[in-house]
Each structure stands twice: as structure tokens, then as C-alpha cells.
Structure 1
Amino acid sequence: MSYTPRHKEQTRQRILQAAAKLFCSHGFDRVTLNQIMKKANMTHGAFYAHFSGKSSLYEAAMQFATSNAFWARDDKQTEGKETHIKALVTRYLSWGRNDKEHPSPLEFLVTDAAHKEEKVRQAYQACFDSLVERLTEILKKRGNKEAEALAEETVVSLVGTVAIARSFDKPLQTDFLKRAQERIVNRLNGTAKC
């Protein structure tokens, strides 16, 4: 049976969406192809029709997740306003709970940044770079002369905050995230017109 190109692309998208959700929640090592295909409600045969292995799926899934993450979307109404910076930081520090359909890969994959497989590390780096570029654009539009350095510093702070907060109990975690959000937003707003 021959499938249409449209059907093949829809199948690929279902696999990518399932993989992105699982990888973003659990990381590369803790997710199996069986779990991904079960979540996509498909067979292993469908997997091998689109991907050569788990690493190539991870790479494609992270590109998919990055392109659909909240920071990749343009919000023309708030892009230059103070509220956009705060919304970006708040959403990131909420660990994707506000965006279950399109989780942010950087929220959970700190362990994948130093993975033994080069494709996994490169996919993580691409996600990191994407968030830095997006934040740099926003800061440049706001007149920040050191936008790229501040954007990189901010992304490192966000990723580190989430990594540390995940080890805390709920009450401490909530307070820690709230304090971090306030510090990061104040830093971004305090230097926005430099």
C-alpha cells in the first residue's frame, strides 16, 4: 500500500510531537522508541520509515519543539513592551505547564547538554541558541546595546534555575522560582535602555 506525501508528513508530525513531549519531559536516555510510538499510536515500522534511529529522531524532535516553543512565536502586540519580557520569563519558569502542547526543550534537558552522543548535544545547543537569539532580538528592539550578552546570561539563569528548582520540595520550589523570576525580570528591565 502506497501512502500519499500528505499522509507521510502527517505521520512524521505525529511521531515528532510524541517524541518532543516525551524527550522534553524525561530526556534522551529515559525515553524508549516503544514509548514514543505508543504515544503516537503507531507501529515501529512507521518509525523506521521516517528516522534512522533514536538520535536522528531526537534531533528532529528538538527542532520541532524549538520551532513550536513559546519563545519562537511572534507576539506583535507585546513584543516591545515590558510585559513580553515578563511573560517569556514567567512561562519559562513555569516548566511548560502553560504550554503542554509545545513544551520547551531547555526546561528539562539539562542532562542532555553533556550527552555522550554528538547529535544529542548539538540538538540541545541548537535549542539554547534559538532562545538566546529570540531574546537578543527582543532586547535589541528595546534599545539594549549589549543584548546578546544579556540574552545569553538570562538563558543560563533560566536553565540553571529550573535545574535547581526541580530538586526542591513544592513550597520551597515555588518561592525559589518566584524570587528568580523577579530577579531576572528586574535585570532585563533595568538594562533595557542601556
Structure 2
Amino acid sequence: MRYPPEYKQQKRQELLQISGQLAKKHGFAATGIDSFMKAAGVTSGAFYSHFSSKHALFKALIETELQHSFSQWENNPHQTAAEWIDFELDRYLALSHLKHADQGCVLPALASEVARANEDIKQSYQQELLRGHTLFTQYLGCSDKAWAMLCQLAGTILIARAIPDPMLQQQILEANKTVMRQYLHHFSQ
């Protein structure tokens, strides 16, 4: 059976999306190729028609996931720094993001695995993260503030996810929104 030319690319994107969800929920290293492919509804053999190795899947997944995060940041509908900051704080530091790692940002979910990966994956991660940093710098007017906000967002979600008490989770989210707003609005005036 012949598939249209775009079929392979569409299937690859579908595999990346499903693999990203599983990896963000269960960890990349802890999830085998069979689990990724089963979730995608394809055979493990089909994996090799899209990726040469699990390493290649991880690299493509990190690139795709960070591009998705960049797209969300880029599509923030606000133009002023204050409104842009408020929107991102409310969107990112939300209970829905906290509770649904599989649908959220790759930074709090897989950064520790990237840190243990080889140089090739780290370089891809850095390249895509720098795009996000550039966008944050554009709105915040300062490279250091951009790094601080990116790290604060991801770190808040990472720490709050490890807390079993829902009320404490909410307190962590709200405390970080408040402090980040005070800090960033103070310097954007």
C-alpha cells in the first residue's frame, strides 16, 4: 500500500507528540521504545523507519517540545511587557500545567534527563532554549531577567509537582506568581 508523500512526516509528528506525552509523564529513560510505539499504535519495527535510535528520538523530541513551548510564548497575545509577563505567569504557573505534565512544558519534566544526555542532545536543547530566551529578553528588556523568569517558571512547576499536598502546591504557584510579578514589574517601569 502506497502512502501519500506527507504521510511519513505526519506519522513522525504523531510519534513525537505521543512520545513527548509519555516521556514528560513517566520520564524518557524509564520508557522503552515498545511503550512509545504501543501508545502510538504502531509496531516497534515501525520506529526504525522514523528514528535511527532511541537517542535520535530523544533529540527530536527535545527539539519539537521546545519549539512547541516557543510557539506558545510567541503567541502570547499581549504586546506590553507587563501584560506579557502577567499572561505567561498565569498560563505557566497554573494548576492545569502542574497536574498534567504530559500536556505541559518539557523544561520541568525532562531537563534533568537532558543534563545526563550526550553533548549532541545538550546542544539541541541549548539552541532551542536560546530562542525562548531571546523572546523573553525582548519583552523583559534584559537577558538576566529572561533567564531568571525561565528558570523560575520551570523550577516552580518542578518543585510543586513533587509536593503531595494540593493546598501547598497552590501556595507555591501563587507565591511564585506574586514574587515574580513584583520583581519583574518593579524593573519594567
Q: Provide the alpha-carbon RMSD of the alignment.
A: 2.5
Does the 8 Å contact 2:25/2:101 carry over to 1? Answer: no
Q: Cα–Cα, structure 1 residues 28 and 124, in superposed 2: closer, same or farther, change >3 Å?
A: farther
- Deviations for 1:76-106, whole angstroms, at most 9, x for unmatched residues? x413252321121222223636988853111
Q: How big is the shift at 1:63?
A: 1.5
Counting only pairs closer than 5 Å after superposition, residues 8-19 of structure 1 correspond to structure 2 as 8-19=8-19
- Give distance in 1, aligned partners of 2:172 and 2:107: 19
Q: How big is the shift at 1:56?
A: 0.9
Gaps of 5+ in 2: none
- Give distance in 2, aligned partners of 1:96 and 1:130: 22
Q: How big is the shift at 1:48?
A: 0.5
Does the 8 Å contact 1:113/1:124 carry over to 2? Answer: yes
Aligned twin of 1:87: 87
TM-score under structure 1 length normalisation: 0.82
- Give distance in 1, aligned partners of 2:43 and 2:16: 14
For 2:175, which of 179, 185, 188 is the aligned residue?
Answer: 179
- Give distance in 1, aligned partners of 2:93 and 2:131: 17
Q: Cα–Cα, structure 1 residues 47 and 113, in superposed 2: closer, same or farther, change >3 Å?
A: closer
Determine whether 1:132 maps to 2:133.
yes
State the percentage of identical aligned residues: 28
Gaps of 5+ in 1: none
- Give distance in 2, aligned partners of 1:26 and 1:120: 19
SS of equivalent residue, structure 2 residue 3: coil
- Give distance in 2, aligned partners of 1:96 and 1:119: 28
Q: How big is the shift at 1:26?
A: 2.9
Does the 8 Å contact 1:66/1:130 carry over to 2? Answer: no
TM-score under structure 2 length normalisation: 0.84
